[in-house]
Structure 1
Amino acid sequence: MDTPLISFISAVYNKADVVLETLELLRCQRGVPADKMEFVFVDDSSTDTSLAVLREAAKADSRVKVIASDVNRGPSVRFNDAAAAASGQYLLAVDADDMLPANAARFLLDAATMTSSPLVFGKSRRSDACLDIPADAALTVADSPLTFCAQRKIVRMGFLCERQLWEVAGGADERVFIQDQSLPLRLSHAASRLTYVEDYVYYLRSRGDENLSNNVQQQHHDRFFALLPFLEERGLQPDARRALISQIVSAGWKAKRDSGVSMPLMSWAGLVYVLNRLIGIQPTTDRLANLAADLRLLSGVRRPSEVSN
């Protein structure tokens, strides 16, 4: 196969019931020549038949690459593994149980070319439908990508980026288990320009038992620690800092609120949350450090350094 134009990449954990449907949606992308697409799946030590299912698919289609892992490290690590194995000029990251409209790859590629952007995001929603992106969907171009990403609270997969940009950004933050927040932030920080499709380009299936979004504490924890390192960046634009801190305060408050500990709004953490929302008051460095220490003690939260066989 010639060098692909686009590599669809995914991390897989116990998705045997839906991963072939996801692969078929990727194979059926319109407007991209079949020999210009490849599909890279990294199985994160699934306990179901996901790996066997994918290996059978690879036997029938040489464009499908399957990488097996002996230990479960989480999607941040495995998406990076998939990106490292990909050879396309562009990467399109997709969760193994989600859906991409049939015209998404072509639309995102055209948007990247038309706006000279190495990174293209769009809206996502949870729905059983998977509708084409409207041909006249509006595009917003941002020349301050990190600020835009932080203000719009961009998360999820289903984005297109140049493979070189992924390499420069370092991919997902492997100190954080879930990649949803760190990837958009890190890619945006490394990008010179970002384009956002003001319509739905990505669809999430109904939550299954293995869906990480079922663990709200994991979501809060990973959101907090994906955001926190950016506050150490020199020359961070004030608007970006305010947007990042707003999300950090929200994630920290929600993590403590949902931990089962009584957290009235008039507590110190609640007061910081309310004042940040009302007038933009920012927590002190010490307060953020204390909050980070509390979140590191949360139970039921996975971290990539905690290897699970």
Structure 2
Amino acid sequence: MLDTRSKSQDPLVSIIIPVYNKAAFVRETLDSALVQTYLNTEIILVDDGSTDGSFEILQEYYQKHPDKIVLIDQENQGVSAATNKGIQAARGEYIQFLDADDLLSSDKIANQIKLLAGQSESAIASCEWKIFNDTPKQAQSMFYGVFQNFNSGLDLLLRFWNYQEMMQPAGYLTHRSLIEKAGPWDESLTINQDGEFFNRVLLHTDKVVYDSEGKVFYRTPGEFNVSQQKTEKAMTSLLESYRCYEKDVLKFEDSPRVRIALKKVYQKFIYDVFPQYPHLIKATESHIKNLGISQKTYIGGPKFQTLSKFLGFKNALRLKRFFNN
């Protein structure tokens, strides 16, 4: 049986960009999508009830490129609902997610399409992401171990969890079939929606192929960015996203290595919220206990890990917070 990719030399790639009040940045983002050297793309813009003039900018680009851009306007429902709307409208064989203030290098999609050629539909492509503030020319590299090939999506997830690393969602190029297997973005979550979604995608992924040339430029989040929120509501949602990790991954593989990695996910949650929200910390400690892992695990930087080994995790946190205040 021939691989389905052999039927299409230049498969359509749908670039999905949800937009909410990004007037200051969205032009630069759209330009980075439009100058891709890979030509067979469509851009799905979903304005999520912007009030800062973003929609007018999107209309301007749509009028200039009506053959390239699909423009959708909806009342504010959140990034997950906007992204799901974009997926529904997309016609591409591959999906490229892109936040409305981030950028792609011009060769990103072309490189990843080449890497995926001949692979099964269960392969996903990734690339390096760099963080920047004003200009991508000054972007800083993240020295992460995720920037390599992986034999499975689960192996990449375990790298995330064991070393507290991440992949910016725009770094992936994903076949539509993986998206369909994973299901929609969870519209009940208010934070880490992308992490929870790609957790499900990667559990269905047989191979991760890494593009060493293409880049994603991730703009430093502002204080009002949803990913920077540490309200009780946001932290409750973050913990729920981690509970989703546990539920889904243990269906796929229930093993000591997975449970150890999950323990570190929960430890990182406590590390991030301590000493706020004692009820959430208590619930997280209960989740850790239920994992049944007696092995000592350590997270954070080398200094914090050393403190944890001598003082214990909670005492190390208390000391860290004392000196940070």
CA distance in 1, matches of 2:184, 2:18: 13
Whether 2:174 is the aligned partner of 1:161: answer yes
Bigger proportion of residues as helix: 2
Provide the residue aligned with 1:300 in structure 2. none
Q: What TM-score does the superposition give when structure 1 sets the normalisation length?
A: 0.73
Specify whether residues 139 and 48 from structure 1 end up closer, same or farther in structure 2 by C-alpha distance, changes over 3 A only: closer
Deviation, 1:243, is 1.6
State the partner residue of 2:31: 24
What's the secondary structure of 2:206's corresponding residue?
A: coil
CA deviations on 1:116-144 (whole Å, 9 max, x unpaired) are 4531223322123268x9xxxx9743333
CA distance in 1, matches of 2:237, 2:280: 20
1:105 corresponds to which residue? 109
- The 3 A distance-change label for structure 1 pair 251 and 197 is farther
| 1:65-88 superposed Cα distances (whole Å, 9 cap, x missing partner) | 111111x22212211211111111
Task: Go from structure 1 to structure 2 and tell me whether the alpha carbon gap of 1:16 and 1:66 turns closer, same or farther (over 3 Å shift).
Answer: same
In 2 relative to 1, CA 166–253 (structure 1 residues): closer, same or farther, beyond 3 Å? same
| 2:212 equivalent to 1:194 | no
Partner residue, 1:144: 152
Paired position in structure 2 for 1:119: 124
Give the aligned partner of residue 246 of structure 2: 231
2:199 maps to amino acid: L
- The alpha-carbon deviation at position 209 of structure 1 amounts to 5.5
For 1:175 and 1:263, locate their aligned partners in 2 and report how far apart those are by CA, in whole Å.
18
Q: 1:200 to 1:176 in 2, by over 3 A?
A: farther
- Please name the residue that 1:73 is paired with: 77
Question: Distance between the aligned counterparts of 2:215 and 2:258, measured in 1?
Answer: 25
Question: Is 1:171 matched with 2:184?
Answer: yes
Output the TM-score relative to the length of structure 2: 0.70
| Structure 1 residues 139 and 262: alpha-carbon distance in aligned structure 2, compared to 1, 3 A threshold | closer
Answer whether contact 2:20 2:48 (CA < 8 A) is retained.
yes
Tell me the alpha carbon deviations over residues 103-127 of structure 1, each in whole angstroms, 9 at most, x when there is no partner: 1111121222265453122332212
What are the superposed Cα offsets for residues 149-205 of structure 1, whole Å, 9 maximum, x if unpaired? 232243422111011211111132222123231122111012232224467721112
Q: Provide the secondary structure at the position in 2 that maps to 1:191.
A: coil
Change (3 A) 1:254 1:209: closer
Paired residue type of 2:107: N
The AA in structure 2 aligned to 1:129 is P
Instruction: Give the RMSD, CA atoms, in angstroms.
Output: 3.5
Deviation at 1:213, TM superposition (A): 2.8
Q: State whether residues 128 and 147 of structure 2, in contact with CA within 8 Å, keep that contact through their aligned partners in structure 1.
A: no
Matches within 5 A, 1:272-291: 279-280=296-297
Matched, 1:257 2:264: no
The Cα of 1:257 is off from its aligned counterpart by 3.0
Which among 181, 186, 196 is matched to residue 195 of structure 2? 181
CA distance in 2, matches of 1:188, 1:141: 13
User: What's the CA shift for 1:263?
Assistant: 11
Task: Write the distance in 2 (CA, Å) between the matches of 1:263 and 1:85.
Answer: 38
For residue 219 of structure 2, the aligned residue among 197, 205, 229 is 205
2:60 equivalent to 1:56:
yes
Question: Which residue does the alignment assign to 1:243?
Answer: 261
- Contact 2:196 2:244 (8 Å CA) reproduced: no
Q: Tell me the matched-pair count.
A: 266
Choose 1 or 2 for highest CA Rg.
2
AA of the residue aligned to 1:148: L
**Residue of structure 2 in register with 1:290 after alignment:** none
Distance in 2 (CA, whole Å) between partners of 1:157 and 1:13 is 17
Structure-1 separation of matches of 2:124 and 2:203:
11
Aligned-residue identity in percent: 24
Given that 1:149 and 1:188 are in contact with CA atoms closer than 8 Å, whether structure 2 keeps it comes out as: yes
Q: Is the 8 A contact 1:246 1:277 kept in 2?
A: no
- 8 Å contact from structure 1 (residues 40, 85) kept in 2: yes
The structure with higher relative contact order (CA 8 Å, sep 6+) is 1
Q: Distance in 2 between matches of 1:263 and 1:186?
A: 24
